[in-house]
Structures are given as structure tokens and as C-alpha cells.
Chains A and B, each alone.
Chain A
Amino acid sequence: MTLAEKILARASGYDRVSPEQIVIARVDLAMSHENADLVRKSFLEIGVGRVWDPSKIVIIFDHRVPAESEKTATTHQAIREFVAAQGIEHFYDVGRGGICHQVLPENGHVRPGMLIVGTDSHTTTHGAFGAFATGIGATEMAGVWTEGTLWFKVPSTLRIEVEGELRPWISAKDLILHLIGRLGAAGADYRAVEFDGPAIRRMSVASRMVLTNLAMEMGAKVAFTPVDEILLDYLRPRVPEKLATIAPDADACYERVIRLDAGEDLAEPVIACPHSVDRVKPLSAVGEVPVHQAVLGSCTNGRLEDLEVAARVVAGRSIHPRTRLIVIPASQQVYREAMRLGYLETLVAAGAIINPPGCGPCVGVHQGILAAGETCVSSTNRNFVGRMGSKDSFVYLASPAVVAASAIAGKLAHPEAIVKEAEPCLTEV
């Protein structure tokens, strides 16, 4: 069986499952952010009173932190009251956590083999920890809070094997954008994705999370990277429970196997052009694009190695006068580490503004909204029409290194053009 099949079989009490089969599976962890308020309302409408298991629910504020309006403040307040009334202990309030997909693994909530649902589409991120993790809607989550189970159609699996070595300044972000460009925004719809191969196994956990996070943008239901020693080393100090390892069977059946060479297939950084994540082009083919705002952050690319490479690019330089650089550490832990290591000092000295850990402008609510006619280069995950503000603004998705280089150049730029000597990105450990 594939990883997806193994976990669904275990969670639904079968020895084996196969694609297309419908199973009812027990949920190991149910995560929500501010939309817990929508879940709460649906849950109260159902009327069972108590959630099925408060210890399996995690709630993390990240979409609007700190509250940007009275309406949000009231929502936060209602969730706090609900959390207290239901005895939900795993609650990360403003200033205690950060972006849900960073906070969950950082605090040891995720283990290989778990079945996780979250009311956020990028819940696929947790496949980097060997979990079957997928996004669901708020009312569906109210059903999970009620019953602790959910129906799934067993997905078929695409296996993506990556050999070779990433070139200098090329990161996991370039690799996954390249794949989304090849497969399309619906290329993995309803499917599980397994990333594997030497290039993946050399990646840091943070880089693997970029792959599983963005697999959602080609429609994946879940995505996995391997459970290996690098991952277990990350998990051991964080997870109190005994860690099980999990791997697909040698005779697992795949719908399709895609092979690529990280060095040969990715000669330069790539960019996802407006207004679709699958409009992917090599940087040199995009042409001259002046940049008004550069955003470094999000559940995709706001981790320590992302801030490190950006700091390395901007060190001793100044952000271009027409450009503003917004930096958002993915969590309080990332924030503190980046402070301790001097990355934030370097970024601020270059002219960056640091936002509090959270989703920030990625979801188009606050902290860096775009005006009509403005162009943004962003390390985030979506460039849809109006995603970050005006419907007449333009978002180009890129790696943290390209975001930092573009902030210095005032236009889309290769980090090589800024930092003359080629240095490797921190995508390998």
C-alpha cells in the first residue's frame, strides 16, 4: 500500500484499502484557526453539547493577529470562551503561537501515521511529518467535533522522485513551483502525492514542508515526504509519545511516477506569474517587472532558513526606494531564533518591516494590502486575482532568496545579481 492507503486503512480499521473505496476513518487531530468560530456555530446548531474529544482539538489564531477590527476581536473572544467551556487545552492565542502549520509540528502535535484534518487548505503541510493531513470546511469540522470520524474516498497516489542536486540559489520552492507548472493547478486533484528520492531526502524538514504545503496548489488531497532520520531528529525533542516510522510498501501501486533531476530540470529560479499558481516561468523569461512590495513569510516560506537566506541576500544593502519589504516570521519560536541569530537585525537594517507571526497580507486582510496597479513578489502560496488586495494588483510567487533579491533591486531579480559570489541556499542539512 502507499502511505495514504496505509494510514487510511489503519484509521478505518481495515487491513487493506484501495483507491476509490469510501472509508469512515477516526480522526487523530482536528485543527482550526479563526474559522473555529464558524465551526463553533455549526457545532452549536447540531446541538450535541460537548465535543467528542477536547484533547484532539487544536486551535491556533493566525489569520488576523492581533485582531485588526472589532469584529475579529469579538470572534477571538467567542472562541476563547468556547475553548474554556469545552476544556480544549491546545489553544494558541495571540502571541503564543504563530501560523497554524508551523505551530502544530513545532509543539509536537504531529507524528508519522496520524490522520489530521484542519479547516485550512494548506493542512497538507503535515505530510512532511508522515501524517495523512488534509483540509476540510467548517461545517465538516463541526461534524468531526461531533463524531470524531469522517468519510474519505481513498485517493490514488502520484509518486514524484527527485534525483540530482539543487543548484546554488535554487530551493524547494522553485522545485514545487516547477512541478505545479508542469502538472497544472488541477494536476493532482483528489490525489495523494509522495515526494521521494535523494534530493528530497537531503532536504531540511522546513524545505520538505514547502513541498507538502504547495502540493495543495496542484489540487493534492494529501502529500508526503519520507519519514527518515532527519525527520525523526526533528520530532524527538518535541514529541512526548513514542515515534513510529512509516513507509510505503515496495509493491505499492501508483497511478503515475514522475521523475526529475533537480539540477538539470531547474537551471534557474522560477516564478509563478499572476494570476494563477501554475503560470510558472523561469525567472529570465519573465522580463523586467518593477516591484512595489516584497513579502517574505507565510506557512509556505516564513521559517528560519527562509529568513536566513533573505538576511544573507540583503546584508549590508538597502531595499530599493520604490520597494517595501515585509517580513513575517512563521511563529513566535521562529521569531525568537531569528532575533537571536541576528537575521531580523540584518533585515530591519536593510529597511524591512517585521510583522507579527501570522498569515499577514497573504490572505488579503491586513498588514500589507496592495493598491490598484501595484506589483508584489511574495514567498507565499497564492497569486489569485485580488488575493492580497486590489483586483488590479499583481502577485508573483517566488523563493525567499528571489524575494529578498527583488526587494534590493526594486524589480524581479536573481539573487546572483545581488550577491555576486554564488552561495548555496540552506535547503540541505
Chain B
Amino acid sequence: MPDGSLKLRGRVRAVLGDNIDTDIIYPGRYLNITDREKTAEHLFELVYPEIRAGLQPGSFIVAGRNFGCGSSREQAAAALKFAGAGAVIAASFARIFFRNAINLGLAAVVSPEAAVVGHASACQPAARPAMLAAGDELEIDLVAGEIHDLTQDRIFPSAPLDPRAAELLAAGGLIPYLKRKYIDQRRNPCLDTV
């Protein structure tokens, strides 16, 4: 996703079940990698290594409830972002993952209507298919709270991004946001007004 965009377009790369934990997204053994771009090499490495290979820039990962549960490791969100994911769409997110994603400028879209509901294991296919299917082309309006599935020609509601999260995503994440607040403005107070 180009930093700052609150409207996304891309294809669904993979549809996963409930409780996709942070060890599945990014194994603990690689936690000493602190170069964010390099984390992408280990995305889903233990269980779904094939996902990363086919991840086109801007494509979407769809999952069920409680995506990103477990550890606070920011590498889970970083690996998704730097492997090219444009957003994760899930029925719900674990709270630390959700905050990490927004802080790194990765959209986390909550939509029980569009994503898998009703399954409880990370390692088996979803019990009933997600409404969104792999390969579907989507247009997402994060502020309006709308997922337009162009392939199925259906529109699903999603939770509209709250203003604080929208502000952070629009800035490209927390680092550029704070940088602008404390550094750039100090240098040039007119920057935000031009």
C-alpha cells in the first residue's frame, strides 16, 4: 500500500481460519531480526510458506477471528507489510497486533461479514468458506468502512477506521507521524499549512 492511502485495491492472496497466532505469522526464532524489511523473508514460514511466495504488492490476507493473537512481536505486522501485503481483513484482531499494524502503516480491516467466522483452529482449513475468496479483486474504503468485491460484485461492510487510526495510517505509521509532529514542524512550522 502506498503510504498515506486510505483506499486500497488488490487481490485476496490467501484465506485463513481463526486464531492465526503470531508464531504462525512470524516464528519466535527470528525475533532477533530487527531490520524490518528482512522480517518479510520469514512470513508464515513454518505453516504456510507458500503464501509469501505468491504475495503480490498490495494483495490481501483474509482471516477469521482473533488474527495475530499471542506475542506482542511487532515483526508479525512488519513481515506482512514488507512482504507486500496491502491489508489484513479479519473477523477480529488481537489487540496488540491491531495496534502494531496501524503503527507500522499496515491496514487492519475488521469485517466479520466478509471474513471467516465459526472455526477454532489455526492449522486446519476454515470450517465454512469466507465470504471473500482467494483471487477476488477488492476495493477497500477504510474510512467509509466498505469492502467492494469486484469479482463477486458484492459489497461488505467493515468497521470504519477510527479517526486516530486513520490519522496514523494516513501518515504512513507512528514513526512518520511523530517525526512530523516533533521534528519537521520544529524545522519548518509552515510545513503542515502548505
Interface residues of A (CB under 8 A from B): 22, 34-35, 37-38, 41-42, 45-48, 63-64, 69, 71-72, 75, 118-121, 123, 135-140, 142-143, 146-147, 151, 184-186, 189-190, 219, 221, 275-276, 278, 363-365, 382, 384-387, 391
CB pairs A–B below 8 angstroms (25 shown)? A22-B164, A34-B32, A35-B73, A38-B75, A42-B174, A45-B179, A47-B179, A47-B182, A48-B178, A48-B183, A121-B70, A121-B96, A136-B96, A137-B100, A139-B100, A140-B100, A189-B95, A190-B95, A363-B31, A363-B71, A364-B23, A364-B27, A382-B71, A386-B23, A387-B28
**Among B28, B34, B66, B178, which residue has its beta carbon within 8 angstroms of that of A41?**
B34
Q: How far is the CA of A384 from the CA of B47 in the complex (A)?
A: 11
Give A12 Cβ to nearest chain B Cβ, in Å: 14
Q: A186-B65, A365-B28 are in contact. Are A384 and B21 (CB under 8 A)?
A: yes
Write out, one digit per residue, whether chain B residues 15-43 have a CB within 8 A of any chain A CB (1) or not (0): 00011010110011101101000000000
B94 interface residue per 8 A CB criterion? yes
**B174 and A48 contacting across the interface, CB-CB below 8 Å:** no
**A189 and B103 contacting across the interface, CB-CB below 8 Å:** no
Give B113 Cβ to nearest chain A Cβ, in Å: 18
Q: How far is the CA of A278 from the CA of B74 in the complex (A)?
A: 23
**Among A189, A276, A278, A364, which residue has its beta carbon within 8 angstroms of that of B92?**
A189
Give A60 Cβ to nearest chain B Cβ, in Å: 15
Q: How far is the CA of A146 from the CA of B123 in the complex (A)?
A: 39
Interface residues of B (CB under 8 A from A): 18-19, 21, 23-24, 27-29, 31-32, 34, 46-47, 65-66, 69-75, 77, 92, 94-96, 99-100, 103-104, 120-123, 162, 164, 173-175, 178-179, 182-183
Q: A275-B123, A384-B24 are in contact. Are A37 and B34 (CB under 8 A)?
A: yes
Q: How far is the CA of A222 from the CA of B122 in the complex (A)?
A: 24
Q: How far is the CA of A95 from the CA of B132 in the complex (A)?
A: 51
* A47 neighbours in B (Cβ, 8 Å): 179, 182-183
> Nearest residue in B to A382 (C-beta to C-beta)?
B70
**A185 and B19 contacting across the interface, CB-CB below 8 Å:** yes
Give A57 Cβ to nearest chain B Cβ, in Å: 17
Most buried by B among A75, A120, A151, A384: A384
**B120 and A276 contacting across the interface, CB-CB below 8 Å:** yes
**B96 and A137 contacting across the interface, CB-CB below 8 Å:** yes
* A139 neighbours in B (Cβ, 8 Å): 74, 100, 103-104, 173-175
* A142 neighbours in B (Cβ, 8 Å): 174-175, 178
Q: How far is the CA of A145 from the CA of B89 in the complex (A)?
A: 30
* B183 neighbours in A (Cβ, 8 Å): 46-48
* B103 neighbours in A (Cβ, 8 Å): 137, 139-140, 143
Q: How far is the CA of A221 from the CA of B183 in the complex (A)?
A: 32
**A385 and B46 contacting across the interface, CB-CB below 8 Å:** yes
Give B171 Cβ to nearest chain A Cβ, in Å: 12
Give A155 Cβ to nearest chain B Cβ, in Å: 9
Q: How far is the CA of A139 from the CA of B39 in the complex (A)?
A: 15
**B178 and A385 contacting across the interface, CB-CB below 8 Å:** no
**A71 and B182 contacting across the interface, CB-CB below 8 Å:** no
The 4 closest A-B pairs by CB, nearest first: A137-B100, A186-B66, A137-B74, A386-B46
Most buried by B among A38, A118, A139, A387: A139
**B178 and A219 contacting across the interface, CB-CB below 8 Å:** no
**Among A75, A120, A385, which residue has its beta carbon within 8 angstroms of that of B47?**
A385
Give A217 Cβ to nearest chain B Cβ, in Å: 8
Q: A119-B72, A384-B23, A386-B47 are in contact. Are A136 and B99 (CB under 8 A)?
A: yes
Q: A189-B66, A384-B21 are in contact. Are A42 and B96 (CB under 8 A)?
A: no
Q: How far is the CA of A237 from the CA of B174 in the complex (A)?
A: 40
A37-B34, A42-B175, A184-B120 known; 19 new pairs, CB 8 Å cut-off, are: A34-B32, A35-B73, A75-B34, A118-B72, A120-B71, A121-B70, A137-B72, A137-B96, A185-B69, A186-B94, A219-B66, A221-B95, A382-B23, A382-B70, A384-B122, A385-B24, A386-B23, A387-B28, A391-B46
Q: How far is the CA of A37 from the CA of B34 in the complex (A)?
A: 7
Give A151 Cβ to nearest chain B Cβ, in Å: 6
Q: How far is the CA of A36 from the CA of B26 in the complex (A)?
A: 18
Q: How far is the CA of A411 from the CA of B60 in the complex (A)?
A: 43
Q: How far is the CA of A385 from the CA of B124 in the complex (A)?
A: 12
> Nearest residue in B to A391 (C-beta to C-beta)?
B46
**A48 and B182 contacting across the interface, CB-CB below 8 Å:** yes
Q: A71-B32, A382-B70 are in contact. Are A140 and B182 (CB under 8 A)?
A: no
Q: How far is the CA of A45 from the CA of B122 in the complex (A)?
A: 35
**A219 and B95 contacting across the interface, CB-CB below 8 Å:** yes
* B46 neighbours in A (Cβ, 8 Å): 385-386, 391
* B123 neighbours in A (Cβ, 8 Å): 275, 385
**A391 and B47 contacting across the interface, CB-CB below 8 Å:** yes
* A71 neighbours in B (Cβ, 8 Å): 32
**B19 and A186 contacting across the interface, CB-CB below 8 Å:** yes
**B96 and A135 contacting across the interface, CB-CB below 8 Å:** yes
Give A72 Cβ to nearest chain B Cβ, in Å: 5
Give A279 Cβ to nearest chain B Cβ, in Å: 8
Give B180 Cβ to nearest chain A Cβ, in Å: 10
**B77 and A385 contacting across the interface, CB-CB below 8 Å:** no
Most buried by B among A63, A276, A278: A276
